[in-house]
Amino acid sequence: MKKIPLFFLLLFGPVAMAQEQQATAGFDWYSLLNDLFFWMFFITFVLLILTLVTVNRAFNAIKELMTAQKNAIQSTEVEAEEQVMVEARPSLYQRIMYALTKAKPIEKEADIMLDHDYDGIKELDNSLPPWWVWGFYITIIYSVIYLLHFHVLGTGPSSIEELERELALAEKQKEEYLKTAANLIDENNVQYLTAEANLANGRKIYEQNCPSCHAIDGGGLVGPNLTDDYYIHGGSIQDIFKVIKYGVLEKGMLAWKDMLSPAQMQDVASYVKSLKGTTPANPKEPQGTLYVEDENLEKETSENTTESEQLSQN
């Protein structure tokens, strides 16, 4: 800025000297207006003034822009700091967890760091998670109650008592199943029953429906003799059950599947099979082929007889 006055001095010095000379000799406006140097000086002066004004405005605009940018940066920094403070502020859940676990922020972990160092891994003296501690306490309380209930006071069932209760429940469920399983008997799973109750029930049904064809003692009338070793359609319990169930229409044997239950047909088949080897009053001559009992296929056990007795009673 100190060079500007010097610049004006150099610029206006010749003019001032010329004016002094003209003042001495008398001022000639015509000569001045026709002087090329004067017009060059005047134009230069005007351009200089315009340049100074433009530069001054440019400096002011730049200053205002820089001030606005500075204010914007400061405002952004303040907002960022406030946002960081808000984010750094722990939530209610975090504050509760900090209180329960006595946890420390990351910047304060050095205060609770232990001397244990495992390959660069540091150990912090944090409290156990509350769920772990509460779970541990609950297991202790439960174990004390369990011990008192089952082993001290005896108010709870022992292992033997629980076993007996489960067996009783299983037996009850078995009985419920047998009530419905009695009607599931067919020629594939029928069994030869030797229990007195089953044979008595089979005899009763036989005497009510079969003597007209096979005689009261099974010796045979229109139908074949049921007491010998000869059978027309097979002598196994399955074969006898099948004949009773489906009948033999060409021989005059009715199908009893719609008149007797599966359990009743099983009892009748068992009774008919039990007639083998008996001595009827008037036995009919043998019919069919000799049937040899297969002990492996026809072996009956007392367990099957007991279960089948329950089936027939339902």
pLDDT at 30: 64
Average the pLDDT over 224-239 and give the result: 91
Q: Report residue 296's pLDDT band, with 50, 70 and 90 as the boundaries.
A: very low
Q: What percent of the chain has pLDDT over 90?
A: 29
**Spatial distance between the Cα atoms of 54 and 50, rounded to a whole number of angstroms:** 6
pTM above 0.75, yes or no: no
Q: Mean pLDDT throughout 64-74? A: 85
Confidence bin at 300 (pLDDT 50/70/90) = very low
| 233 touches 239 (CB < 8 A) | yes
* Residue 6 exposed, middle or buried by CB count within 10 Å (0-12, 13-18, 19+): exposed
With cut-offs at 50, 70 and 90, classify the pLDDT of residue 141: very high
- Assess whether pLDDT exceeds 50 at residue 33: yes
Give the separation between CA 34 and CA 32, rounded to whole angstroms.
Answer: 5
- Whether pLDDT at 5 is above 70: no
Region 94-122: mean pLDDT is: 74
Instruction: Go through the domains of the chain in sequence order and give each one's CATH number.
Output: 93-124 (no CATH), 189-313 (1.10.760.10)
Q: Of 36-45, 84-93, 229-238, give the lowest mean pLDDT range.
A: 84-93
Over the chain, what is the mean pLDDT? 80
Confidence of residue 123 (pLDDT cuts 50, 70, 90): confident
Q: What is the widest separation between alpha-carbon atoms in the chain?
A: 191
Q: How far apart are CA 155 and CA 149, in angstroms?
A: 5
Q: Tell me the per-residue pLDDT of 256-273, one tens digit each, with 9 for 90 and over.
A: 989 998 889 999 999 999
What pLDDT sits at residue 158? Answer: 87
Instruction: State the Cα–Cα distance between residues 1 and 59, nearest whole angstrom.
Output: 14
What is the band of 116 on the pLDDT scale with cuts at 50, 70, 90? confident
Q: Percent of the chain beyond pLDDT 70?
A: 78
Q: Quick one: pLDDT at residue 145?
A: 94
